[in-house]
Structure 1
């Protein structure tokens, strides 16, 4: 079976990129599928994760982002030219590869792939939530048209794969998709051979300094926690566009900011509690990552990821969204009770195993067989 993935770029050291590489490697090594990946804007960037040499990789050389070097009419004209070039090159590659199944991950490929897929079955992966990406109210006629085209493309796919039940329900009810299923992400779980002993007075947060990650709530929460437990430290692993905005408040609190690291599991194992304050998540890879290191989790019950991953009171706490005081109380409860941390930590390790490749990838194999019947 020939499987073709179409994606923007594998240049970023991000969650989606890691998941795609892991899945392609597994499909090749465990099932013997002939796997291809076409990127649009890779350029000279290296792929940050190890890609199996049996996976056929090619970049279309579109570099769509170069349109932003211009303004006004010239930018629009450049964008149209690059999109036409993309249509031509992706069509040519599909004819060369002759895939049985094509998997797209964003709107632009979805529309193009519907036109050029030939006899191949088209699967769309919803790595971004329906409500956050396409359902935002707008009166801009261009955006309204693009939204309409996006909705239409997703309805016409042979299958739309969502990461969570909440997102899947949005696609079914609001976009009237008749072919939707849920397959969670493959997660890069802990393989260090060790777990946190949960004795350190350290709490960890992993995420960008960005609005969607709820950084203002994190700062407010930690300020209140620190009044009750000034001997505990919050370790933040992340970077982002808003980092400097919080420099003053971070310097006034017991917070240490670290650069993102490839060895994040080693850092999880040095902490005793994991926090997530996101306003929204399409899945949240970091929660099962932390769980696999034995950490109990405290997270806002935001749409949609945490609710699917955390079992309330068993391996973590789900906090009503934006309820800062409840969030603080749960953190302090864990800080004050080592036995509770250990109990939840053991459950967290077991819960995380649902997301290893051996559990998730058979679901993909089953889907491939089903849509080809």
Structure 2
């Protein structure tokens, strides 16, 4: 029996949450017989990611003006409620922490099957108002989708919800090619404080192996402008020729395929796609065991190492071990490529689909 499924997200502008939503929406539209609706209710209904022709897209034509923010918010709530009632979906999937509050407020009192998926560090506070709303509103959702085991544990306590399921992110497959490997430790991420690239630079410098380079792929973000400070740190350490800030790159894949080890010093994650993509490229991973994410992918002594948060000496020791033992690094890399297949696009999108239709 075909169903009507509504997928809700503020926008499909460039971003991790938006990319995953586009993958799930396209998978259902192209592989199932259901009627697929995508409702974009944010200030701008931008669509950066390509959508299947079978997807029915809903956007509003309201113009946002900061002077009338409250009025605009109420108008959007009314529009979203009206749009969902017109679609009359059998089930709904909504993405986005604070945005899920908005969706639940818009649909309050309506008897729809609603699944909420949070996409960030699970113990993150959004301020007293939004934290209170989340605790109140999430209890009435049909189900809550967590990205990691740790997130599930936190959500079950935080939201007092009995139906919390774990679904990771879809990780794209990276095929091997003829790019020649080099002695490179690579990392990928925005140059924001929680990525702790200053620590990574110190760790790599302390290892003092002139045959290796560290390449950090990513640009400034969140108005933090950390690239200048990181470059000064590199120059002060005399590592200008061995530590490279590559900036934002479209072809991240080529950097992964050229490298031998992936290092990750982030302390705040929801589900780090970059770790999964590094594993898909066949790289062993050395990562801080932050609140959520790496521990659902990295297995100590099998495909890499999980390091207790901010234990720089331990991080450096494991990184050095892999640098000096190429056969072990290659073995871990092969294991990583095999292990990450459980997060393939088709497998993860099918998990989303089965979850949201179980009560339809």
TM norm structure 1: 0.87
**Is the 8 Å Cα contact of residues 40 and 63 (structure 1) preserved in structure 2?**
no
Q: Determine the C-alpha separation between the residues in 2 that align with 1:164 and 1:44.
A: 29
> Matched residue pairs, number?
348
Once the two structures are superposed, the pairs formed by residues 123-272 of structure 1 within 5 Å of their partners are: 123-134=115-126, 143-190=127-174, 192-194=175-177, 199-225=181-207, 227=208, 229-240=209-220, 241=224, 242-251=226-235, 252-253=238-239, 254-272=242-260
Q: Determine the C-alpha separation between the residues in 2 that align with 1:56 and 1:204.
A: 40
Q: Determine the C-alpha separation between the residues in 1 that align with 2:171 and 2:215.
A: 22
Q: Determine the C-alpha separation between the residues in 2 that align with 1:205 and 1:170.
A: 28
Once the two structures are superposed, the pairs formed by residues 26-45 of structure 1 within 5 Å of their partners are: 26-41=27-42, 43=44, 45=46
Alignment-derived partner of residue 9 in structure 1: 11
Does residue 324 of structure 2 align to residue 340 of structure 1? no
Q: Determine the C-alpha separation between the residues in 1 that align with 2:178 and 2:113.
A: 42
Does residue 274 of structure 2 align to residue 286 of structure 1? yes
Q: Determine the C-alpha separation between the residues in 1 that align with 2:43 and 2:339.
A: 36
Q: Secondary structure at the match of 1:269?
A: helix
Q: Determine the C-alpha separation between the residues in 2 that align with 1:218 and 1:63.
A: 44
Q: Secondary structure at the match of 1:132?
A: coil
RMSD: 2.1
Following TM superposition, the consecutive aligned residue runs of length 4 or more in structure 1 with deviations greater than 4 angstroms are: 61-64
Once the two structures are superposed, the pairs formed by residues 93-108 of structure 1 within 5 Å of their partners are: 93-106=83-96, 107-108=98-99
Q: Determine the C-alpha separation between the residues in 1 that align with 2:131 and 2:279.
A: 37
Alignment-derived partner of residue 59 in structure 2: 59
Shift of 1:289: 0.6
Q: Secondary structure at the match of 1:167?
A: helix
Of 291, 297, 303, the match for 1:309: 297
- Between the two structures, name the one with larger relative contact order (CA 8 Å, sep ≥ 6): 2
**Is the 8 Å Cα contact of residues 111 and 153 (structure 1) preserved in structure 2?**
no
Shift of 1:114: 4.8
Q: Determine the C-alpha separation between the residues in 1 that align with 2:153 and 2:211.
A: 44
Shift of 1:309: 0.7
**Is the 8 Å Cα contact of residues 11 and 45 (structure 2) preserved in structure 1?**
no
Q: Secondary structure at the match of 1:58?
A: strand
Shift of 1:33: 2.5
Provide structure 1 residue ranges, at least 5 long, that are not aligned to the other structure.
Answer: 68-73, 135-142
Per-residue CA deviations over 1:131-188 (Å, capped at 9, x if unaligned) read 1134xxxxxxxx4233211211112111000000101101112331222111111112
Alignment-derived partner of residue 262 in structure 2: 274
> For structure 1, which segment, 33-42 or 269-278, has the greater mean C-alpha deviation from structure 2 after superposition?
33-42
Q: Secondary structure at the match of 1:130?
A: coil
Provide structure 2 residue ranges, at least 5 long, that are not aligned to the other structure.
Answer: none
CA distance 1:148–1:42, change in 2 (3 Å): closer
Q: Secondary structure at the match of 2:263?
A: strand
Q: Determine the C-alpha separation between the residues in 1 that align with 2:118 and 2:17.
A: 11
Shift of 1:278: 0.7
Shift of 1:326: 0.7
